[in-house]
Amino acid sequence: MSKLKIDNLSRDGVGPVSLTIDPGECVCLSGESGAGKSLLLRAIADLDPHEGEVSLDDQPCSAMSAPRWRRQVGLLPAESQWWYDTVGEHFQGQDSDCMQRLGFKPEVMAWQINRLSTGERQRLALLRLFCQRPTALLLDEPTASLDPENVRRVERFIADERRTRHIPVLWVSHDPGQMRRVADRHFRIVGGKLAKGTL
């Protein structure tokens, strides 16, 4: 079971932020456009320079190599990146159960990237991230491009995984209904600082 602890983290006008997310807990983060939500996630993932410290199971990010940290603290950005022509080239292995739960059949691995809809890319990016078996999740609007059926499918999938594997989740969302469905706690970024929100 993993606990994600953020201590006085700051970067580019955001912070200092201190927050602890317990194993299996989902914390939602909201705020106006440009408030710094994505910047905060990138700092936690150690993708951008920052001050302060983040630790996972009391192991500080500063004591790990960047690749090792990013394998454990998985970031799903708002826009996923794809480098090869087909879906399967982006996966080192397949999890048919996860695939099915996210609405795909095995033949999806042969699909051309350029034929995917935005929503399909978003769900496949989530599948790709979970195949890496992260022990903490940073989700930047993971359902923004999905229809209502697939929004619920993704919400159920993440809820099942975090409760079964006891994964701490920090989830950026602008949808109050979604936050009520998925979150244990809610914070807003106001003026670069965390403020307690309502569910």
Mean pLDDT by 10 residues, the chain (199 residues): 92 90 96 89 93 93 91 92 94 83 92 94 94 93 94 95 94 95 95 88
Query: What is the three-state SS of the chain?
Result: CCCEEEEEEEECCEEEEEEEECCCCEEEEECCCCCCHHHHHHHHCCCCCCEEEEEECCEEHHHCCHHHHHHHEEEECCCCCCCCCECHHHCCCCCHHHHHHCCCCHHHHHCEHHHCCHHHHHHHHHHHHHHCCCCEEEEECCCCCCCHHHHHHHHHHHHHHHHHHCCCEEEECCCHHHHHHHCCEEEEEECCEEEECCC
- Asked whether the whole model's pTM tops 0.85, one would answer yes
Domains of the chain: 4-79+122-196 (3.40.50.300)
